[in-house]
């Protein structure tokens, strides 16, 4: 009883326009409300059906259609996970870019051989619209009461960063020394490709500092550090997402209102959101056991 949805051309165009309008409204609303923290919490849900696996714009689009949504997948993907969409459930939609091959004459070696020509919609269903096998838990909550647990997590991040981030060659967690900046609990030095985290703060705060500096290295490693408010927002928001996902205390985070740092610019907001989402996924994936993702290609495209 597959109920794969099909649309005629006019219907498809209308759905794409509806989705674009909803996305604009959602981003504009985010600019002018205090909902940033809630947005970051939406990014902090893990697993292959997590809506954070989609682009930031599609994540916003999903939240605009179902504010409580945390997991979404196609009809077929839910089946593959042992769950079926309940009869009569209405799909939510994300925008899926459509590409055309570039003409050979205009194609250079570095240029992508495909050009964005428009969008189609991809119908998805939320977890709560499905029945069946329980989703495998994918979050391992962290508790740094045991020093070993903290050391292990730091080691995991260190190994992942050294293996995959070209802007990190050393991560040092050490006691404060004479000459260290009195106002800082850690820093990323772009020139020496090193991250330092000081141990004179509680472990959960040391961890947040490490993630913050790692986000700078991932996102800003090849550009000037600390030159713009947006870079601080990106690093601190990434730390918030990662700490929230791991069940760590986030009460001490003070994130400025979007209206302040994005200057009313929706493009700026969406670009920052995408950076935060990307850095958070890189770091959270490094802290979780690897898992198969059958939809990897489809999600990358969406």
Instruction: Report DSSP state, residue 47.
Output: S
CA–CA gap between residue 189 and residue 177 (Å, rounded): 17
In the complex, minimum distance from the CB of residue 186 to Zn ion, in angstroms, rounded to a whole number: 9
- Nearer Cβ to Zn ion, position 52 or 235? 235
| Pair type for strands 194-198 and 170-174 | parallel
In the complex, minimum distance from the CB of residue 196 to Zn ion, in angstroms, rounded to a whole number: 12
Among 101, 118, 124, 125, smallest CA distance to 9 is for 118
- Nearer Cβ to Zn ion, position 69 or 272? 272
In the complex, minimum distance from the CB of residue 216 to Zn ion, in angstroms, rounded to a whole number: 5
- Nearer Cβ to Zn ion, position 218 or 235? 235
Contact 157, 286 (CB under 8 A): yes
**End-to-end CA separation in angstroms for the chain:** 26
- Nearer Cβ to Zn ion, position 45 or 197? 197
In the complex, minimum distance from the CB of residue 261 to Zn ion, in angstroms, rounded to a whole number: 13
- Nearer Cβ to Zn ion, position 60 or 235? 235
Instruction: Quote the tokens at residue 162.
Output: 């050294």
In the complex, minimum distance from the CB of residue 237 to Zn ion, in angstroms, rounded to a whole number: 11
- Residue 235 as a binder of Zn ion (CB under 5 A): the answer is yes
- Nearer Cβ to Zn ion, position 54 or 261? 261
Q: HEC profile for 89-124? A: CCCEEEEEEEEEECCHHHCCCCCCCEEEEEEEEEEE
CA–CA gap between residue 201 and residue 12 (Å, rounded): 54
**Helix (H) or strand (E) run with residue 300 in it:** helix 296-301
Size of the site for Zn ion (CB under 5 A): 1
In the complex, minimum distance from the CB of residue 184 to Zn ion, in angstroms, rounded to a whole number: 9
- What mask of x and - would describe binding to Zn ion in positions 182 to 221, judged by CB under 5 A? ----------------------------------------
Q: Which stretch binds Zn ion (CB under 5 A): 85-93, 99-107, 119-127, 233-241?
A: 233-241
Binding site for Zn ion (CB under 5 A): 235
């Amino acid at each position: 009883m597959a109920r794969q949805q099909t649309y005629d051309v006019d219907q498809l165009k209308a759905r794409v326009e509806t989705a674009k309008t909803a996305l604009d409204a959602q981003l504009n609303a985010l600019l002018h409300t205090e909902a940033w923290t809630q947005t970051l919490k939406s990014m902090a849900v893990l697993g292959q059906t997590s809506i954070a696996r989609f682009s930031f714009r599609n994540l916003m689009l999903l939240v605009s259609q179902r504010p409580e949504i945390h997991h979404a997948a196609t009809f077929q993907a839910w089946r593959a996970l042992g769950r079926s969409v309940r009869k009569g459930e209405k799909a939510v939609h994300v925008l899926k870019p459509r590409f055309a091959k570039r003409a050979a004459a205009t194609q250079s070696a570095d240029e992508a051989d495909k050009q964005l020509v428009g969008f189609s919609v991809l119908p998805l269903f939320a977890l709560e619209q499905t029945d069946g096998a329980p989703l495998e838990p994918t979050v391992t909550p962290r508790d740094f009461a045991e020093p070993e647990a903290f050391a292990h997590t730091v080691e995991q991040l260190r190994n992942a960063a050294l293996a995959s981030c070209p802007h990190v060659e050393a991560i040092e967690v050490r006691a404060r020394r004479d000459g260290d900046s009195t106002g800082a609990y850690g820093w990323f030095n772009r020139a020496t490709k090193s991250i330092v985290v000081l141990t004179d703060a509680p472990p959960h705060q040391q961890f947040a500092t490490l993630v913050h500096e790692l986000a700078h290295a991932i996102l800003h490693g090849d550009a000037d550090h600390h030159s713009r408010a947006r870079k601080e927002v990106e690093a601190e928001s990434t730390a918030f997402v990662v700490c929230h996902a791991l069940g760590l205390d986030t009460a001490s985070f003070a994130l400025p209102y979007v209206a302040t740092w994005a200057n009313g610019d929706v493009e700026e907001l969406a670009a920052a959101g995408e950076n935060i989402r990307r850095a958070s996924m890189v770091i959270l994936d490094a802290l979780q056991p690897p898992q198969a993702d059958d939809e990897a290609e489809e999600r990358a495209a969406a």
